[in-house]
Structure 1
Amino acid sequence: MIELTGNNLTVEQLKRICIHFEQIAISSKTMERVQESRVAVDRIVANKEIVYGITTGFGKFSDVRIDTKDVEDLQLHLIRSHACGIGKPFEETIARAMMVLRLNALVKGYSGVRPVLVEQLVKLVNQRIHPVIPSQGSLGASGDLAPLAHLALVMIGEGKVFDMTGKPTDAASVLAEKGIKPIVLQAKEGLALINGTQAMTAVGVINYIEAEKLAYDSEWIAGLTMEGLQAIIDAFHPAVHEARGYPQQTNVARRMTDWLEGSRLITKQGDKRVQDAYSLRCIPQVHGATWQALDYVKEKLEIEANAATDNPLIFKGGKLVISGGNFHGQPIALAMDFLKIAIAELANISERRVERLVNPQLNDLSPFLSAQPGLQSGAMIMQYAAASLVSENKTLAHPASVDSIPSSANQEDHVSMGTIASRHAREIIHNTRHVLSIECICALQAVESKGIENMAAQLKAKYHEYRNIVPTISKDRIFSTDIEAVASHLRLQNDSMGTLTLEKT
């Protein structure tokens, strides 16, 4: 059980909650903070004070005064009108992460919601009642309004949730079945639920978890390629990398050396050639730079996971209520754009290694790794597929954060597009996993021709693991099936991803 305090939620804890379904709790001390901020909201309503979103309309309607008798209707209308999501729903894992992140923001005690609303969210998370949330429609400021409105619908007994088979079903029937009474939103509560960055951050967290694993996988796959091409290990000498000074680069070189320990396929400079192409020689430099980006992204995600991002925020027991802009998603937009570029580069360099594995002008292997060159094409079109994916990644890697478009009659005149950046990063991760799968298949074939008995022990274990997934290429077959099989195994193979089966690779 993980206790949410609003202050110390980590990516590792989110992995346990959202992927391994660990349950959550809120301490009584944390609930006291929630109650204190709620008392302040009740006083504002009772005293008919003019405070944005509590006794006024929203956005351009912020100058419209709302009567006390209408504050509940104001919140209900807000949720229904803002539920404008479009397109394919987010995976359940992401919907769950959105709920946990929104809950963690609310329990900081700056949002003015009732404890009963917090308790409702805890029940939904712990009973795995996950809202169906369309993935498109957010500008990333004022936060992720449309996606979070679909989350809030479930709390009031409207909208849809995923059933046990992953199909959408009416939330009202599931809540009734579980004995959970829908919430009637009171002053500020609708706004507190939807004014924040939890959609982009939820996608970002799941992106990071998968990207981190992909970065590790890219190293042993590159190691297989190095054995298949009898590459030179000297370039990984620690002195080279310590001379530059980036710890991530040094760490990649060390891990690559560990993977290749004991290999009789790896060469020294001058044995077969003086130096390798950049896609082999510069693995620590390129992959290391991706790790630098991952470190940056993780830091920003953990800050945002513990941030108060709604508006207005309530301080000093209600003596200070400030309408600000913490809902603006620019920090996560930039982080996700950085992640896009970093993961796209793993695909770029992997595809170049695939080319070296299949091009007979660049190696001494069978042309295109074919069992019968000419009669059979072998891995020729797998390289085409990899090239297509890296080209698509280049389009997706265009920064979403440099775009903006005014909304709400120019009141909200600069927005982050952070959720678009997160979604595009997700597609790049998906594409990159498939490029690395292609490299893996080609490298497995290459090391066979060089002698499995001469492989490094750790890589030989990987060879046997993946030969159980894809057989040797003894003749042409439908390689799409192999690529998908390897990609699925890469995604699910170890504890980093647990038993995540909520999205097909």
Structure 2
Amino acid sequence: MEINGHSLTLNELHRVVHHFETVTISEASLHHVVESRKMIETAVEQHDVIYGINTGFGKFSDVEIDEQDLDELQMNLIYSHACGVGDPLSKEVSRAMVLLRANALLKGYSGVRPIVIEKLVELLNKDIIPVIPSQGSLGASGDLAPLAHLALVLLGDGEVYHRGEIKPAQEVLGEKGFTPIQLKAKEGLALINGTQAMTAVGALTYLQAEETLKQSEQIAAMTMEGLESIICAFDAKIHEVRGHKEQIEVAERIRELLRDSQLITKQGEKRVQDAYTIRCIPQVLGASWQTLNYVKEKLEVEINAATDNPLIFTDEGEVLSGGNFHGQPIAIAMDLLKIGMAEVANMSERRIERLVNPQLNDLPPFLSPEPGLQSGAMIMQYTAASLVSENKTLAHPATVDSIPSSANQEDHVSMGTIGARHASQIVQNAHRVIAIELICAMQAVEIRGTEKMAQSTRELYTQARGVVPSIKHDRAFSKDIEALVEWLQEVDVKPVSQS
């Protein structure tokens, strides 16, 4: 797969991260890289004072650096900024960060030598993936600490993932045939001034969220069968008069999923109206789809963005300082993603309650095979409630908090990487909640009669039953939940094609 700095897609990111697709570099884009590098070298020769090239960083921007110290300045920058803490980001996130940084530098606005980009791509293709602590970024001036840990490996230092373990890079690079580099003027700053940590976490989280939301619709449809829900609330006319595209589409998919079901009812047959978590599925999940669409739009821009500072504009012959490293666009997107996916879990947990609570249905209490003697799905609802409560805390927006840094020179920061990490946790929690709903929904439709199910939901039932057996007797359901989550993350649940 060729990268050029301009056209990387989320699908291509997925292929590189999860399927180890080989990455190549566009020769045409390298031409722009070479030209921007020439401008940096000319500026150094002419003793032009340019931030980050021959000045200090942050509050030290007014301190001029002697020419003989420019390379040391860049090396010092990487080492001093590599102060991340906490558990490491996953290997997948680190792979995404390497790819995104290479793609950003390839745009030709950062003034690095081609070898810097080539070495980043070499890390990917040789599966030399930096170990990057998850905490320590303010999200402006970019993801400084996480990207510094990434850059350490280019210098032959830091840690890498190797054969399922974490090893010092020095022990692995020789075995992999990787020669470290010596940074030159501007290159250290170009490597760490960017939003690639929050964007990498955000992109992978978005892809998982998209699958989770698709699956939540199919599972909700099965729950509707287990509760003999009313299909009339999904009539196209209702949704068309409101006009939200995503709401209309969710209603259409639910109708298609259940079109041949003998378990759903019409209004007045069993009851006049269902509760909101059934009746308002299109309105709520449609709003979550709106959120995901916004997030996708921002991510697709950011994965091809120049987020360095200063930027080199070769056509105009200018080196301009600005603030493209500020993570606010992705920070707000991540906070919205948190809310949208927390609501998916909220809806699912309330449907679980409707499946297990004998006061809300005519099914056996807690779907137990022997109510009283056996507790059945009682505590699975507790687990779901715990997860959605945790999500409510995580959904608090990270962007509304800002702590000034660098002696108040950097007086507003995005906290976007915190938002992205919390979004990832929320999506993982949501996946577990819908897995619990699926376990309960399968038990309910068994009681109703699986032969009466719609073809689409019956297919999902049959496949999922191969992972989690029917509840015939109380057992440790934790393993069932986690097995189903793992299966849902691997299975490609396709949305029903629209008519």
Shorter-chain TM-score above 0.5:
yes
Match of 1:176 in 2: 174
* Letter matched to residue 17 of structure 2: C
Query: Is the Cα–Cα contact under 8 Å of residues 37 and 318 in structure 1 kept in the other structure?
Result: no
Alignment match of 2:322 (pick from 321, 324, 342) = 324
Change (3 A) 1:495 1:445: closer
Match of 2:281 in 1: 283
Query: Is the Cα–Cα contact under 8 Å of residues 37 and 317 in structure 1 kept in the other structure?
Result: no
Match of 2:77 in 1: 78
Query: Is the Cα–Cα contact under 8 Å of residues 239 and 251 in structure 2 kept in the other structure?
Result: yes
**C-alpha deviation, 1:495, in angstroms:** 8.2
Alignment match of 2:434 (pick from 425, 433, 436) = 436
Query: Is the Cα–Cα contact under 8 Å of residues 331 and 420 in structure 2 kept in the other structure?
Result: yes
Deviations 1:190-223 (A, max 9, x none): 0000000000000000000000000000001001
Query: Is the Cα–Cα contact under 8 Å of residues 40 and 317 in structure 1 kept in the other structure?
Result: no
Matches of 1:351 and 1:28 in 2, distance apart?
Answer: 52
Alignment match of 1:297 (pick from 291, 295, 298) = 295
Query: Is the Cα–Cα contact under 8 Å of residues 39 and 314 in structure 2 kept in the other structure?
Result: no
Matches of 1:390 and 1:5 in 2, distance apart?
Answer: 41
**Superposition TM-score, scaled by structure 1 size:** 0.97
Alignment match of 2:353 (pick from 347, 355, 370) = 355
Match of 2:260 in 1: 262
**Superposition TM-score, scaled by structure 2 size:** 0.98
Match of 1:382 in 2: 380
**C-alpha deviation, 1:360, in angstroms:** 0.3
Coordinate RMSD, CA, aligned:
1.0
Matches of 1:480 and 1:460 in 2, distance apart?
Answer: 24
Match of 1:154 in 2: 153
Matches of 1:227 and 1:319 in 2, distance apart?
Answer: 66
**C-alpha deviation, 1:419, in angstroms:** 0.1
Q: Which stretch shows the higher mean deviation, 373-382 or 203-212?
A: 373-382
SS in 2 for 1:48: coil
**C-alpha deviation, 1:23, in angstroms:** 1.5
Matches of 1:277 and 1:103 in 2, distance apart?
Answer: 50
Change (3 A) 1:145 1:292: same
Matches of 1:91 and 1:113 in 2, distance apart?
Answer: 27
Match of 2:197 in 1: 199
Match of 2:31 in 1: 32
Match of 1:60 in 2: 59
Structure 2 stretches lacking a partner, 5+ long: 495-499
* Letter matched to residue 269 of structure 2: D
Match of 2:20 in 1: 21
Matches of 1:333 and 1:109 in 2, distance apart?
Answer: 25
Matches of 1:114 and 1:174 in 2, distance apart?
Answer: 25
Q: Which stretch shows the higher mean deviation, 16-25 or 361-370?
A: 16-25
Deviations 1:86-135 (A, max 9, x none): 01111111101101111111011100000111111111111221110000
**C-alpha deviation, 1:25, in angstroms:** 1.2
Deviations 1:16-39 (A, max 9, x none): 111222121112111100000101
Moved over 6 A (4+): none
Matches of 1:231 and 1:476 in 2, distance apart?
Answer: 28
Match of 1:500 in 2: none
Matches of 2:26 and 2:472 in 1, distance apart?
Answer: 61
SS in 1 for 2:312: strand
Query: Is the Cα–Cα contact under 8 Å of residues 41 and 318 in structure 1 kept in the other structure?
Result: no
Change (3 A) 1:490 1:148: same
SS in 2 for 1:402: coil
Matches of 1:295 and 1:19 in 2, distance apart?
Answer: 22
* Letter matched to residue 13 of structure 2: L
SS in 2 for 1:73: helix
The percentage of counterpart residues that share the same residue type is 62
Match of 1:163 in 2: 162
Alignment match of 1:219 (pick from 198, 217, 220) = 217
Q: Which stretch shows the higher mean deviation, 9-18 or 199-208?
A: 9-18
Matches of 1:248 and 1:10 in 2, distance apart?
Answer: 22
1:213-252 aligned at under 5 Å gives the runs 213-252=211-250
Query: Is the Cα–Cα contact under 8 Å of residues 36 and 317 in structure 1 kept in the other structure?
Result: no
Match of 1:399 in 2: 397
Match of 2:497 in 1: none
Match of 1:48 in 2: 47
Match of 2:331 in 1: 333
* Letter matched to residue 211 of structure 1: A
Structure 1 stretches lacking a partner, 5+ long: 497-505
Alignment match of 2:413 (pick from 398, 412, 415) = 415
Change (3 A) 1:163 1:136: same
Q: Which stretch shows the higher mean deviation, 77-86 or 11-20?
A: 11-20
Match of 2:130 in 1: 131
Matches of 1:272 and 1:215 in 2, distance apart?
Answer: 29
**C-alpha deviation, 1:10, in angstroms:** 1.3
* Letter matched to residue 245 of structure 2: P
**C-alpha deviation, 1:241, in angstroms:** 1.1
Change (3 A) 1:265 1:495: closer
Matches of 1:141 and 1:370 in 2, distance apart?
Answer: 53
1:360-379 aligned at under 5 Å gives the runs 360-379=358-377
Matches of 2:338 and 2:287 in 1, distance apart?
Answer: 13
SS in 2 for 1:401: coil
* Letter matched to residue 284 of structure 1: P
* Letter matched to residue 294 of structure 2: Y
Matches of 1:88 and 1:258 in 2, distance apart?
Answer: 44
Paired residues in the alignment total: 494
**C-alpha deviation, 1:317, in angstroms:** 5.2
Match of 1:426 in 2: 424
Matches of 2:185 and 2:252 in 1, distance apart?
Answer: 57
Match of 1:12 in 2: 11
Change (3 A) 1:285 1:489: same
